[in-house]
Amino acid sequence: MRIDRGILLCVFFLMGLGLVQVYSSSYIFATEMHGDGLFFFRKQVLFSLLGISALFTMYLLPWKTSSRIGFALWVVAVLAVIATFIPGIGMRVGGAHRWLNLPFGFRFEPGELLRVTYPFVLAPLISQYAAGNIDGRWLTRLLLALSPLALLNFQPDFGSFVIILTLTASLFVAFGLRWRFILGGVALVVPTLAIMILTSPYRRLRVEAFLNPWADPAEKGFQVIQSMLSFYSGGLTGVGLGQGQGKLFFLPEAHTDFTLAVLGEEMGFLGFFILLMVFGFVVFRGFQIALQLKRVRERATALSFSLLLTFAVFINVGVSMGLLPTKGLTLPLISYGGSSLLCTGLMIGWLLNLQRQSLKPVSFREKEIE
C-alpha cells in the first residue's frame, strides 16, 4: 500500500519540532500558572499521538468511507459550533465562544473541525458547477454550506470566517468562475468585510495596532512589537534552543498563536526558513496530488486541503511578523493546541488517501457519475 513518504516525513518532522517548541516556549509559563512545567507538553504529546492515529485511520479506510466520515464530521462540527453558545457546554475565553468544555480539563475548538471538513461539502458543489449542473437546488445547497459562517461571526471567529470564505472563492476561480462574477463578488465582499471590521471594536483595534503598533506600545501594539523584537533578537542562527527571552512573560501567547516568534528568536532566520520550506514542500505535494486526480470532486477536495494549510501558515506567519492584523490562529503542527493537531492529522490523512486514489484508474462508470 503506497504512501507519500515525503509528506509523511515532513509531517513527523513538524510534529517533532512542535513538541520541542511547546516544551521550550511553555515550560516557565506552565510552572508559574500550573506548578508543572510539563503541563502543556504532556497534552501536546497526547494530541500528537491522537493526530497520528487520525491520520493513519483516514488514510487506511477506503476513500468512500473516509469521505463519508468527513461529511459526518462536518455536520458534527456545525452542531458543536452551535453548542459553544450553550451555557455550561460552551466555554468563553477572551470574549469569544469558540470552545467546548470536555472532561478531564480538556477543551475543543469546533471551528478547527469545521474548516478541515468543509471541503467535503464544497467539493461536490464545485463538481456540479464545473459540469454546468447549476439549478435552484444547487444554489440552496451552496447557501446551506455557507450558513455556518454566521455562527463563526457571532462566536466571534473572524479568522475561520475569512478562511472558509476565501477557500470558497478560490475553488470557484480555480474551476472556471467567469471574470464578471469574480469582480462582482469582490465588489460585494470587500465592503462587507470592511463594515464588519469597522463596526466591531476589537477588530478595529487590531487593525489600528497593525497599522501603527508604536502608537500604543504598552497596550494595542504590545503583542506585535514583542513578536518583532523576538525575531530581531534571533538574527541569522538564533540565540539557542531554550535561551529566548521573549517567552519570559514578554510575549503573550508564546506557546500558541505567537510560538513562531519564539522559534525565530531561538533558531534564527535559518530555522525559520527551514520551517517554511518544509511547509512549502507539503503544500506543493498537495497541489501535485490535486493535479493528478482524475475526478473533479476529488481534485477539488485535495486542492482545498492544500489551500487550507497554505492559508493557516500564511496568516500565522503574517501575524507573527507584523504583516497582518493580529488573529488567533495557530501554526499547524507547531503551536500548542489539541484541536489543531487532531484536525490537521485528519486533513493530512485525507490528502494521503487522495494521493493513493490518484494511482487508481477511473472506470467508465465513475466518469459517467462524475
**Confidence at 292, pLDDT banded by 50, 70, 90:** very high
CB atoms within 10 A of CB 96: 18
Are 226 and 260 contacting, i.e. CB atoms less than 8 angstroms apart? no
User: All 3 cell numbers of residue 174?
Assistant: 480555480
Mean pLDDT of 92-109: 78
Question: For the chain, which residues make up each domain, given as ranges?
Answer: 5-369
In this predicted structure, the answer to whether residue 363 has a pLDDT above a threshold of 70 is: no
Lowest mean pLDDT among 119-133, 254-268, 355-369: 355-369
What is the residue-averaged pLDDT of the chain?
89
| Across 110-114, average pLDDT | 94
Confidence band of 364 (pLDDT split at 50, 70, 90)? very low
* Mean pLDDT across 196-202: 83
- The whole-angstrom separation of Cα 260 and Cα 263 is 5
Nearest to 119 by CA among 315, 366, 369, 290: 290
Band (pLDDT 50/70/90 cuts) for residue 366 is very low
* Mean pLDDT (whole number) for 262-277: 95
pLDDT tens track for 229-244:
999 999 999 999 888 8
Least confident of 41-55, 183-197, 292-306: 183-197
Looking at residue 182, what is its pLDDT? Answer: 82
Q: Is the pLDDT of residue 56 over 50?
A: yes
Q: Which of 167, 168, 252 is nearest to 218 (CA)?
A: 252
Query: In the structure, what pLDDT confidence band is assigned to residue 193 with cuts at 50, 70 and 90?
Result: confident
pLDDT, position 95:
66
**Res. 120: pLDDT tops 90:** yes
The percent of residues in the chain predicted with pLDDT above 70, rounded, is: 96
The C-alpha cell that represents 367 in the structure block: 466518469
pLDDT score, position 361: 59
List the single range of 12-16, 151-155, 288-292 with lowest mean pLDDT. Answer: 151-155
Q: Greater confidence, 255 or 178?
A: 255
pLDDT value of position 370 = 47
Return the pLDDT at 1. Answer: 55
Average pLDDT over residues 8-27: 95
Confidence check: pLDDT of 346 > 70 = yes
Mean pLDDT (whole number) for 305-333: 92
Alpha carbon separation from 204 to 169, 190, 207, 318 (Å, rounded): 25, 15, 5, 18
Least confident of 29-38, 79-88, 101-110: 101-110
Any idea which of 87-91, 107-111, 334-338 has the lowest mean pLDDT? Answer: 87-91
Q: Is the pLDDT of residue 301 over 70?
A: yes
Helices assigned H by DSSP within 35-154: 39-60, 63-83, 110-117, 119-130, 136-146, 148-154
pLDDT at 360: 66
C-alpha pair distances (Å), 43 with each of 38, 339, 346, 354, 363: 9, 11, 18, 30, 45
Kindly report, residue by residue over 20-50, the tens digit of the pLDDT.
Answer: 999 999 999 999 988 999 999 999 999 999 9
Task: Note the pLDDT of residue 367.
Answer: 47
Q: Among 25, 86, 20, which Cα is nearest to 256's?
A: 25
Q: Is the pLDDT of residue 359 over 80?
A: no
The pLDDT of residue 365: 44
Mean pLDDT of 248-267: 90
3-state secondary structure of 369: helix
Average pLDDT for 115-132: 94
